[in-house]
Amino acid sequence: MSVGSKIAVAAALPLVVEDLALAFGGNKVLQGIALQLRPGEITGLIGPNGAGKTSFFNCLTGLYAPQQGRMRLGDIRLDGIAPTGRAALGFSRSFQHVALCPELSVVENVMIGLDRQSAAGWLDAFLPLARGRQERARNRELALAALARLGIAQFADEAPANLPPGVLRLAEIARAIAGEPRVLLLDEPAAGLNSVETRDLSTALMRLRSPQLVMVVVEHDMDLIMEVCDTIHVLNVGRLLASGNPAQIRANREVVRVYLGDDDE
Ligand SMILES: Nc1ncnc2c1ncn2[C@@H]1O[C@H](COP(=O)(O)OP(=O)(O)OP(=O)(O)O)[C@@H](O)[C@H]1O
Ligand SMILES: [Mg+2]
């Protein structure tokens, strides 16, 4: 049995990080990071600019190779597994700055999120062959289902250029969830959204919470973080400063001093 099929039948698995350290030259980006990311929860990861939040995501997905530490999904050791292997295990993410492809409709953009699962591959799915047509029809159904989960199925055939930022952001998240990930990492999903769009995003994120899913949100919008998260970890210059539920994080004097600011004091 392959690792992928083994994991498909497994119960909810925590993502465990032990003693993680990452440096670029003399720049110690992450040091001594130890935490558990639990399935069934929404976990927030917050901290000042440059704290190492995106770098931490890059370590989890295998894009960066930490110099020290261990990561495992349940009992599966992740060290040495390349990004494609981790994607096959169910890791999925949205990026801080990546947008949708303007030449494709919303649903076609979401279908890109399924290419790694396709037996035929994404390009084949666009070729006029029977296998490609079937694959494309199936992927379109899955992509439409992902859009529906985010409440934006009505925009499936629109071009991205015709849609407001809030819908585009939800479409990016739909792309990340279309393959039914086991670990979903969202990097600043509320960046650039207005307050109404941010509320819609909060609602959508809370609807995505599910017993098997490890969901981690990096975000500077503290109202959103405090509303949607069960557990929050605070990073400061590469170190874990605090972990707790929203009330505990709000009440932590050190967190208020380095990050939340005087307004919350
Ligand atoms: N590929 C890289 N090469 C060199 N340095 C890097 C690289 N990636 C990240 N860093 C450094 O790691 C540190 C943390 O950056 P990172 O992007 O992880 O912060 P962040 O917490 O996501 O910040 P922001 O809130 O601004 O997105 C920074 O000093 C950054 O310059
Ligand atoms: Mg970042």
pLDDT digits (tens, 9 = 90+) for 234-258: 999 999 999 999 999 999 999 999 8
CA–CA separation, 170 and 39 (whole Å): 21
Q: Rounded to the nearest whole angstrom, what is the distance from the C-alpha of residue 186 to the centroid of ligand 1?
A: 16
Residue 256 lies in a domain: yes
Amino acid at 48: P
**Mutate which of 20, 22, 28, 29 for ligand 1 pocket (most atoms within 8 A of beta carbon):** 29
Residue 52 lies in a domain: yes
What residue owns the CA closest to ligand 1's atom 5? 24
Residue 126 lies in a domain: no
- Rounded mean pLDDT, 8-23: 88
Give me the percent of the chain exceeding a pLDDT of 90: 81
If one counts the domains in the chain, the total is: 1
Judge whether residue 53 has pLDDT over 80. Answer: yes
Residue 231 lies in a domain: yes
Atom of ligand 1 nearest to the CA of 52: 18
Residue 110 lies in a domain: no
2 within ligand 1 shell (Cβ under 6 A): no
- The CATH number linked to 67 is 3.40.50.300
CA–CA separation, 38 and 214 (whole Å): 6
CA–CA separation, 55 and 50 (whole Å): 9
Give me the percent of the chain exceeding a pLDDT of 70: 88
Q: CB under 8 Å to 167, separation ≥6 — which residues?
A: 106, 152, 155
The domain in which residue 35 lies consists of: 1-88+225-265
Residue 201 lies in a domain: no
What would the pLDDT profile of 114-168 be if each residue is shown by its tens digit?
A: 865 555 555 655 666 666 778 888 999 999 999 999 999 999 999 999 999 999 9
Residue 20 lies in a domain: yes
Q: Rounded to the nearest whole angstrom, what is the distance from the C-alpha of residue 64 to the centroid of ligand 2?
A: 14
53 within ligand 1 shell (Cβ under 6 A): yes
Helix (H) or strand (E) holding 148: helix 130-149
Atom of ligand 1 nearest to the CA of 25: 4
Residue 241 lies in a domain: yes
113 falls in which pLDDT band (50, 70, 90)? confident
Helix (H) or strand (E) holding 249: helix 246-251
Query: Any idea which residue has 């720049």 for tokens?
Result: 27
